[in-house]
Amino acid sequence: MTKDFCLPDLGEGVHEAEILAIPVSKGQAVQEGDLILEVETDKAAVEIPSPITGTIKEIHVRPGDIAEVGTVLISFTTATQTDHSAYQPTGGTESPPSPDQQPPKKKEVVTNRRPVPASPSTRKRAREQGVDLYLVTPTAANGVVSADDVQKFAALSSQDEPIAKHGKATHLQKARSAALPDFSQFGPIERKEFRSIRRATAKRMAQSWAQIPHVNCQDVADITMLEDFRRRHKEEIKTAGGRLTMTVFALKAVATALKKLPQFNASLDLDKQEIIIKKYFNIGVAIDTDHGLMVPVIRDVDRKSIKELSVELHHAIEKARSRKLSREELIGGSFTITNAGAIGGNQFSAIINHPEIAILGLGQGRMQAAVQTDADGNHTIVPRLLMPIVLCFDHRVADGADAIRFMQVIINCLQDPDAFFINMT
């Protein structure tokens, strides 16, 4: 009996995956649970175990291929149902039918592909426009594909062309672009594959930039006192297995601001014309790695101490850089922080991590001349450690005044750590 194994639905709007490795070969016997594939989505690298016991009959993909959900990856040869207890029917004691009573054998497909959540009207539009709903990325936070999603996909697809199967993708499409000149005529060049995390990041950023009206609010936080606090306690945190960085303090400050202005802890559901306010505080932290940008999510930031966050964030960074993050560690975020200060970056505007509605960018704290005013109104110029911060937000959900208030909460938290930690909730 032949059974086909298809790329299963990996959830969270994931429609495709890149084949990283195939640790089995044609003719090899495998047991249920044995590792047969390693794939990578825009969320994480995933190990896929064999769903059955049998022999590898055919491998339909190669490392580097990009497969859609539902694509046949591997075909197995297995024992018949009467010979293989794993496929015996359950419940009941009737004898199996005689050979002349048995229906014709069908080629079985092993897959977890579930129906795409969409309304009847959306399905109708998809049929009319020839759109495969499995290829459409939902913009709603609940993962439901809308008619507008289908329309946008159809508009983009009208400008697309197929991609070859091996080395690129199977049944996928890429947007046409203006023809490039032959750069080699001007000097030496090198071509690198545009794939894996880099390709997934590009897709998500383009989607976010196209769908969200980005606005940014800029300011500066005086972190002189906070840096003094950090230096006094960094060894204690290091002993506990963590690292006390500005990002750790920013996590707590953002959680505080999100509680005071919950419209920034939200997603926009256009289909239902609703703003979804999240009552949890799961904050993603953008991590620069050798293989691309990773955003592990630190959960329940509001409930954890500075020490706990220091340890957890440090471990998340290490796992991100060694590509050990699980898919569960990369999903469920409600807000994102990106800190360019560690590598010397100054003020910059980040792209929102859709379907969130805001992202906070931190720059490097630098000693600068600042004007201070005493109780009598006298001004003095003093050296202070100033850190630029930029809030990029979705103007459909929040206004500029909201953003300024949000930023002030964060600045107040960072500028006076004693007051912040005493009043922290």
Active-site residues, by number, are 395
Kindly calculate the radius of gyration of the chain based on its CA atoms and give it in whole angstroms.
Answer: 26
Pick the closest to residue 193 from 322, 333, 367, 64 (CA basis).
Answer: 64
Q: Measured between alpha carbons, how far is 380 from 318 in angstroms, rounded to an integer? A: 44
Q: What are φ and ψ of residue 226, in 5° steps?
A: -65, -40
- The 3-state secondary structure of 56-109 reads EEEECCCCCCEEECCCEEEEEECCCCCCCHHHCCCCCCCCCCCHHHCCCCCCEE
Q: Which two tokens mark 45?
A: 């690298």
Alpha helices (H) along 212-245: 224-239
Cβ neighbours, 10 Å, residue 288: 16
Q: Measured between alpha carbons, how far is 425 from 421 in angstroms, rounded to an integer? A: 9
Q: Measured between alpha carbons, how far is 224 from 417 in angstroms, rounded to an integer? A: 10
